[in-house]
Structure 1
Amino acid sequence: MAAPGSRPSKPNHERVEESTLALITAAIQLFGEKGYHQTTAAEIGSRAGFSRNMVRDRYGTKEELLRSLFEAEFGRRLLPAARRERRGRGLDRVLGVLDDLTTSVEAEPELIRAMIALTFETPVALRGFAPWFEELIEVYQSELRDHLRAGQYDGSVREDMDADREAEQFVSYAIGLCFRSVLYREKYDFAGALRAWRDRAIKDYSASTGTSPATGGG
């Protein structure tokens, strides 16, 4: 029985959930600041407010914590928000991709930064996670191609555009902006760059100057 005036202890499952969230949050912060290779499991435990062995006790290895981060945070929390179902004309769907990415950058800056930082470690330190990023790129590129082709069909996108080539360039440009965002960090206005890109996309993709694409998400 709890002593008078003391707070009742939390159920074990609540303590586990809170400690897991603290570890994931600490990992996101440190991976975004230092990258995966330069971050130790002990640092994650300490940043989360626990012992230096907490990551090992909870996950076994730093890599398993990272795998949980990919599945829970990137896979179920971030990506669905950045890849909603697209409706409307083809051009509106393309612009919706940029709108949702901008929203994610503003709403989840630390999570976005960690994901981007980890992306650029994939070719060497995180080679085992390369298939995850490769699939993500392929899916985005395929969806963009389909949006552009839909726009050519419905008259909102220029007919003379090579949808396959443009989708590839679109994704490559996005990767370039992502690199700048982690290179320059707080000095770089990532959301502002995305909005400027959106304005250019309207001019470059529109079938006519009279096209009035939606101002919000697709």
Structure 2
Amino acid sequence: MTANGTQNTRRTQAERVAESSRRLIDAAIALIAEQGFERTTAAEIGERAGYSRNMVRDRYGSKEAVLEILLETEIAERLLPTLRRERAGTGMDLVLGHVDDLLHGVWTAPENMRAMLVLSFEATAGPIASIRDWYAKLIPRFQAEMAENIALGQRDGSIRADLDAQREAETYVSYGIGLCFRWVMFREGFDLPAEITAWRARLARDYTAT
């Protein structure tokens, strides 16, 4: 019991480990979003999390191991499902739904989004093959999915029949990547939510069958 009569609950070792792991991952996300993975050191992650400079190496062995956890949990298990939620409806609903999911991700998890995007641009020349391979598989898969959604919309009558689904899917993905790149480059001076909203309006206008 404490001096004021309340119960003094002690955390278990597992709870302390879980908290420290969470703080280390959050610190890694913040640092990657700010300065990229290559410029981030294991010591910085430990210090940003409020621990010693050796915490990352003692816990995980290297900052690369932290990156693997970040990719597997924060991005693959949490962020990507938010950006690619299962949706029903017409092909147009699915096309616009992906834009809505992107906007939702930017609003609800901006640091996670920015870290994921910074990693994607670093992947083009970064030394960690796993990052390049991860994104090299993700982008074509998403583009193929978008082409299927456009083709579905052409079949159900919600999207113009004269569009080239494969070409539009490529343009869709490239434009989205361009917006994200500008957001990473101009952190304070680029209003990504506003640009995504305007992009959605253009898609709705230009794709809708008349």
Q: Which category of TM-score, normalised to the shorter sequence, fits these structures? A: over 0.9
Which amino acid in the other structure matches residue 95 of structure 2?
V
Q: Distance in 1 between matches of 2:199 and 2:123?
A: 26
- For 1:30, the equivalent position in structure 2 comes to 31
> For residue 146 of structure 1, what is the amino acid of its counterpart?
E
After TM superposition, the structure 1 = structure 2 runs for residues 181-192 of structure 1, keeping only pairs within 5 Å, are 181-192=183-194
Name 2:165's counterpart in structure 1. Answer: 163
Higher relative contact order (CA closer than 8 Å, sequence separation 6+): 1
Aligned to 2:97: 96
Q: Which residue of 2 aligns with 1:173?
A: 175
Structure 2, gaps ≥5 residues long: none
Aligned to 1:61: 62
Q: Say whether 1:201 aligns with 2:203.
A: yes
Q: CA deviation at 1:203?
A: 1.1
In the alignment, the residues of structure 2 paired with residue 97 and residue 125 of structure 1 have an alpha-carbon distance, to the nearest angstrom, of 28
Over residues 25-51 of structure 1, what are the superposed CA-to-partner deviations in whole Å (9 max), with x where a residue is unaligned? 000000000001111110000000000
Query: What corresponds to 2:44 in structure 1?
Result: 43
Residue in structure 1 matched with residue 132 of structure 2 by the alignment:
130
CA distance change for structure 1 residues 160 and 127 in 2, over 3 Å: closer, same or farther? farther
Separation (CA, whole Å) in 2 of partners of 1:84 and 1:125? 29
- Where has structure 1 moved over 6 Å in runs of 4 or more? 2-6
The gaps in structure 1 that reach 5 residues or longer are 209-218
Counterpart in the other structure of 2:119: 118
Change (3 A) 1:185 1:103: same
Separation (CA, whole Å) in 1 of partners of 2:150 and 2:128: 32
CA-atom RMSD in angstroms? 1.4
| TM norm structure 2 | 0.95
SS at match of 2:158: coil
80-89 or 126-135: bigger deviation: 126-135
Deviations 1:105-139 (A, max 9, x none): 00000000000011110012244111111111112
Indicate the SS of the match to 2:37: coil
In structure 2, what is the Cα distance between the partners aligned to 1:152 and 1:169?
17
Name the CA distance, whole Å, in 1 between partners of 2:127 and 2:93.
35
Normalized against structure 1, the TM-score is what?
A: 0.91
In 1, Cα distance between the equivalents of 2:127 and 2:90? 38
What is the letter of the counterpart of residue 145 of structure 1? A
How far did residue 3 of structure 1 move? Answer: 8.0
Q: Which amino acid aligns with 1:192?
A: A
Q: What does residue 71 of structure 1 align with?
A: 72
Q: Aligned to 1:27, what secondary structure does the other structure show?
A: helix
Compared CA separation, residues 153 and 63, structure 1 to 2 (3 A): same
User: What secondary structure is seen at the aligned counterpart in 1 of 2:52?
Assistant: coil
1:92-114 C-alpha deviation (Å, 9 max, x unpaired): 11000000110000000000000
Query: Structure 1: which amino acid aligns with 2:33?
Result: G
Per-residue Cα deviation, 1:184-207 (whole angstroms, up to 9, x for no partner) = 012211111100000000111111
- Aligned residue pairs: how many? 207
